[in-house]
Structure 1
């Protein structure tokens, strides 16, 4: 029987457990998240001209980048991912007074200063606004600020997903899955397939750890569409857990050629998240062949849901995801990225639960002053 967990590490702490619990956490999310949500969401989603804004700070913002393309296709509405940090800094650029808006706010704790400020700005600037709050902490400011409001729905993630480690892992993926279940194409059968796929990744921890043992100095993550949001989160996760000791970069396979490809050298590992879309996948295969020809087979790791041509080298193929959208396959791909970041953190002698022991970077951002807005 395959090992069900990432190996215990004395200094891996809660991060190890929180990465490893994701298959079961996702099953719990899929089974519970839809309760009573339809009564709130159904009439809102029928509103003509509705705009949906997916928002959060840091990793929570990347949930929106991953989910937005699938929601646009599923709902037929205008769906945009805009970080709270952008909205707070320039609210009039991002909030439209006369457009009915569903603001979907993601927050592990809901205590980031920009989180509540963004919902307050939306209330002040938009004539007709509803709030869907997806959070892991029932006692957080975002949850408490919207509890009991007629135009707000607070959806709580399972208690176990309120990660105590420094980096968001199960909190991030659970909120992403919840979004796709509540608003997108994901159903219970899809969630089960995704949970099995995540376990498949976890069972290949030795293969992932071997990538970290090489102690590369540069990591590049490439993906298109929803998978570019995934690439962005993957780069941040590795940067966080190694306390900035490695250079990380993200891009799309096509965009990478336009200058950023300059980052490649003999001490670089490139990870390509292959798309499930046949058209998009052709561009993924092109960059895979190009980088392997330039740096060699060991410089590149490919994640895919189906086999790639033998001429393009090996790939980590995650089975059981046929027919699923890139926004969904991003979930097991994220587990891979989290495992790689965890093992790289350990290889670089960091403590994953607290890679910044002197407090240069904190788990929940502090010290942000929210300034009053003047019309």
Structure 2
């Protein structure tokens, strides 16, 4: 743990969040072992489903859990050769017949930290009401949650439990997000991802232990940004959305954040730019896609103040500086996996920004207007 993180860990309002960010490499190694030990069960459940020509895979969750699906969707579609859609539980609950308009054989993959959010269980029930053939892969951090208990022991469901420590106590999802994302990649991607978890863990350890990242985060926040924009293409579009949410949540809304794709940003959202805006671009490992990321970086750097456009990318060549943050040892992996160490940077930005502004990251909304597990949702019956 770096000196900066060590100091934050002693902050009584940040200790849970610091621990949950820094424990991620260990959590990923543990999940690698959990999936390996469950391989026979997972394959027995998943392989007959994936063999169906018209199978649709729906990745679902709310908020951060929903962004896990966005990170994974395109990668798993290529890997499985099947239609894979990321659809949030909030969209399913609000418009189930629209989300399940085609009565196709469906694998619903549910991501849930607690499994107690109102929409989590409702989404699985609505899928069964709208579809004639649906199976469930439940990936959750809480064995005692309603979602896990409801689906345990069912022949049409498989529950994959994350390590108990990944059920984050802090307000914002950190290790729960990366743990569930990795678990889905390993479970559905099979042996194609052998050894990837260890490489991701080492890359993340370098981020939390290398003083260069301390310095870079300090320089970014010294600009006192009032707005932070995250951009990413393909699988990294979901990463950008999750990154923006982390800064918004951890600072209690003190910093306005937004996200978009490298190409989409020019189509109106670019209006958010101001003298006190920082733009962070995640650069794709895909040679074709990264061209668009590099284009938007060059364009923005030509018009914005020096130091306000930051590129985060995998690589060992070149000298890292305050505008170019390098993730080591992950240069040849798919973007869905690259998202895991990359999001650690965003978690640390949000954490440090919160502390600088006097917000307690473990509970940035002490009055309860925003809750760790969503409350206040009235679930309405869907007519037959």
Structure 2: how far apart are the matches of 1:154 and 1:287? 41
Residue 184 (structure 1) shift: 2.4
The answer to whether residue 241 in structure 2 is matched with residue 246 in structure 1 is no
Structure 2: how far apart are the matches of 1:368 and 1:3? 41
Partner of 1:9: 10
Residue 54 (structure 1) shift: 0.2
How far does the alpha carbon of each residue in 1:128-157 deviate from its partner, in whole angstroms, 9 at most, with x for none?
A: 110000000000010011010000000000
How far does the alpha carbon of each residue in 1:87-126 deviate from its partner, in whole angstroms, 9 at most, with x for none?
A: 0100010114631000000000011101100100111111
Structure 1: how far apart are the matches of 2:285 and 2:318? 15
Per the alignment, do residues 78 and 138 of structure 1 end up closer, same or farther by CA in structure 2, a change over 3 Å counting? same
The answer to whether residue 193 in structure 2 is matched with residue 193 in structure 1 is no
Partner of 1:57: 62
Counterpart mapping for 1:196-275 below 5 A: 196-204=202-210, 205-207=213-215, 208-275=217-284
SS in 1 for 2:158: strand
Preserved CA contact (<8 Å) 1:308 1:314: no
Residue 358 (structure 1) shift: 0.4
Per the alignment, do residues 156 and 80 of structure 1 end up closer, same or farther by CA in structure 2, a change over 3 Å counting? same
Partner of 1:38: 43
How many residues were matched structurally?
373
Counterpart mapping for 1:1-375 below 5 A: 3=2, 6-7=5-6, 8-10=9-11, 11-34=13-36, 35=38, 36-96=41-101, 98-184=103-189, 187-204=193-210, 205-207=213-215, 208-306=217-315, 314-375=323-384
Q: Which runs of 5+ in 2 are unaligned?
A: none
Q: Which runs of 5+ in 1 are unaligned?
A: none
SS in 2 for 1:248: strand
How far does the alpha carbon of each residue in 1:214-269 deviate from its partner, in whole angstroms, 9 at most, with x for none?
A: 32100000000111110001001110111111110101111111111111111011
Preserved CA contact (<8 Å) 2:22 2:208: yes
Preserved CA contact (<8 Å) 1:111 1:142: yes
> Could you state the TM-score of these two structures normalised by the residue count of structure 2?
0.93
Residue 4 (structure 1) shift: 9.2
**Aligned-pair Cα RMSD in Å:** 1.8
Residue 322 (structure 1) shift: 2.6
Preserved CA contact (<8 Å) 2:310 2:322: no
Shifted more, 213-222 versus 155-164: the winner is 213-222
Residue 296 (structure 1) shift: 2.8
Preserved CA contact (<8 Å) 2:62 2:88: yes
SS in 1 for 2:263: helix
> Could you state the TM-score of these two structures normalised by the residue count of structure 1?
0.96
TM superposition outliers: structure 1 runs of 4+ over 6 Å: 307-310
Preserved CA contact (<8 Å) 1:106 1:135: yes
SS in 1 for 2:280: strand
SS in 1 for 2:230: strand
Preserved CA contact (<8 Å) 1:25 1:174: yes
